[in-house]
Structure 1
Amino acid sequence: MKTFDLSTPAGRFATYVDYNLNDHAFLRLRFQNAHWLGDRLVRTNQPWPFQLKRWRDKGVRTVINLRGGFDASFYALERDACARLGLKLIDFTVRSRAAPSREQILGARDMFAQLEYPALMHCKSGADRASLMSVLYAHFQLGWPISQAVEQLSFRYLHMKTSKTGVLDHVFATYLSEAEPRGISFLDWVMSDAYDADALTREFHAGWWGNLLADKILRRE
């Protein structure tokens, strides 16, 4: 396991080198894929430390890292920046290539209810995991029906339905076709035996060209 030491100039330099080479951070210097959901939550790609300062100056108080907390250069820099800037950092790991578990959906609902807002929520590209969580935020916090909230899973945010990440669309499409017409709420469906994250993941089959673009060319997480 690689350790990133930010306590020395050499260690910080090495961390930024890794951040750019292995996390492709240079692509996010000017493009943040930033979109507000209402006036309390903004979704973005992985922010640089200087971008976190700009968001803090705009009023953001909480940062939600959907990539998880582990020993990577992006996380070392983000954790350090949040500590220096007085931002609360929350790690809430979700997957982009599998249906969310019941526990993840309920955990997201509870987290959104307890956050100190305004908040910034990000994954790596701001395309898939951020889109999934934006659907849940729009539904649970803004009161949007799933049929409207699911628009957060869109190519507008660089989400690709034809790759393995399309399984996220499959989850909501299944609800809209099988449960909503019977008057079942999204939460009740998730809480019922009908919701099986593993089965939903197995059912979805991505296109080969979508996988090629997302996994090999764009190298999405």
Structure 2
Amino acid sequence: MTQNDQTPGPKKRKKKKAPHIAADLSDPKGRERAERELVLGDHGFLRESFQNLHQISPEMWRANQPNPRQVREHARLRGIRTIINLRGESTKGYYLLEKEACEAEGVTLVDFQVFSRDTPKVETINAARELFDTIDYPALMHCKSGADRAGLMSALYMIFRQGMPVAKAMQQLSGRYLHVKSGKTGMLDAFFDAYLTDTKDTPKPFLDWVNEDYDPAEVKAAFLKTFGNRFQLDRLLRRE
């Protein structure tokens, strides 16, 4: 029997990962574990001296994931009253320590999860508008690197809160903030580009286009069709 004639054996099932159990910050060992998850597991050591921090208006800042010391600095030096966490709630140390620091400084922590490698959902865009109308300012929003999700939300903030044209607002997605357009994160650019293309000859307010014409699946499919071999870049960057 040749190798090609051999029938494949049963496929091995991947073991499901056990759910991550949150560290107990009231216990010294638990706190040590949470800090290790922040510094090593979440690459917090890279953000110790580089926060990718930018002020995009008198009332709004953008940054990467802050550690507790940086949360205190945002509250005491910049008067930040609200921090918008674009990564979503988590049991990992980076989130637990941020939440604790916000509580200690009287800062409201808002968990508003968005994604960097997909076209934004219609309901997410509408929720972002409501968010910007209801939070206490000054505010700061962050994802992990401060590049892609923070860029998307910064652009939406400038459109909804500042009344800025889409073409100008989408400059928040640029290399200046470490955003990479040539990877899957380019779907965020494709979303805004779709609006500009669709309304080039027949102008239409951005939110009306989102609610009446925008098809996330269609924009995503068109982007992936021209994506080519650039998936390798995403694997190299290991973005969330």
Q: Normalising by the residue count of structure 2, what TM-score does the alignment of the two structures yield? A: 0.88
Aligned to 1:40: 59
Shift of 1:134: 0.5
Match of residue 11 from structure 1 = 30
Q: Distance in 2 between matches of 1:100 and 1:180?
A: 21
Q: Structure 1: how far apart are the matches of 2:89 and 2:122? A: 21
SS in 2 for 1:163: coil
Q: 1:97, 1:121 → 2: CA distance?
A: 18
Measured after TM superposition, the shift of residue 220 of structure 1 is 1.3
Partner of 2:150: 130
The answer on whether the counterparts of 2:33 and 2:93 sit within 8 Å (CA) in structure 1 is no
Gaps of 5+ in 2: 1-18
Residue equivalent to 2:123: 103
Runs of 4+ in structure 1 deviating by more than 4 angstroms, as ranges, are none
**1:85 corresponding residue in structure 2:** 105
Q: 1:180 Cα deviation (Å)?
A: 4.2
Contact 1:163–1:208 under 8 Å retained in 2: no
1:164 corresponds to which letter in structure 2?
K
Per-residue Cα deviation, 1:61-97 (whole angstroms, up to 9, x for no partner): 0000000012122111111111111110000010111
Q: Corresponding residue for 2:44?
A: 25
- Of 90, 110, 121 in structure 1, the residue corresponding to residue 141 of structure 2 is 121
Q: Secondary structure at the match of 2:100?
A: helix
Q: Distance in 2 between matches of 1:144 and 1:7?
A: 46
Query: How many angstroms apart in 2 are the aligned matches of 1:201 and 1:103?
Result: 16
Alignment partner of 1:36: what SS?
A: strand
C-alpha deviation, 1:216, in angstroms: 3.0
Query: In 2, Cα distance between the equivalents of 1:99 and 1:16?
Result: 33
Match of 2:5 in 1: none
Q: 1:59 corresponds to which residue?
A: 79
Equivalent residue in structure 1 for 2:235, among 210, 216, 219: 216
Partner of 1:175 in structure 2? 195
How many residues align structurally? Answer: 218
Counterpart Cα distance in 2 of 1:24 and 1:217: 15
Compute the displacement of 1:207 (Å).
4.9
C-alpha separation between the residues in 2 aligned to 1:128 and 1:207? 20
Structure showing greater radius of gyration is 2
Counterpart Cα distance in 1 of 2:220 and 2:38? 31
- 2:84 aligns to what SS in structure 1? strand
Q: 1:157 aligns with which of 173, 177, 189?
A: 177
Report the 3-state secondary structure (helix = DSSP H, G, I; strand = E; otherwise coil) of the residue aligned with 1:208. Answer: coil
Deviation at 1:188, TM superposition (A): 0.8
CA distance in 2: counterparts of 1:4 and 1:207, whole angstroms? 42
Identity %: 47
State the match for 1:70 in structure 2: 90
Residue identity opposite 2:237 in structure 1? L
SS in 1 for 2:201: helix
Q: CA RMSD in A?
A: 1.2
Q: Which runs of 5+ in 1 are unaligned?
A: none
Q: CA shift at 1:208, angstroms?
A: 3.2
Aligned match of 1:144: 164
Q: CA deviation at 1:20?
A: 2.0
Aligned AA for 2:169? A
Distance in 2 (CA, whole Å) between partners of 1:139 and 1:8 is 45
- Taking the aligned partners of 1:198 and 1:117, their CA distance within structure 2 comes to 34
Contact 1:163 1:207 in 2 (8 A): no
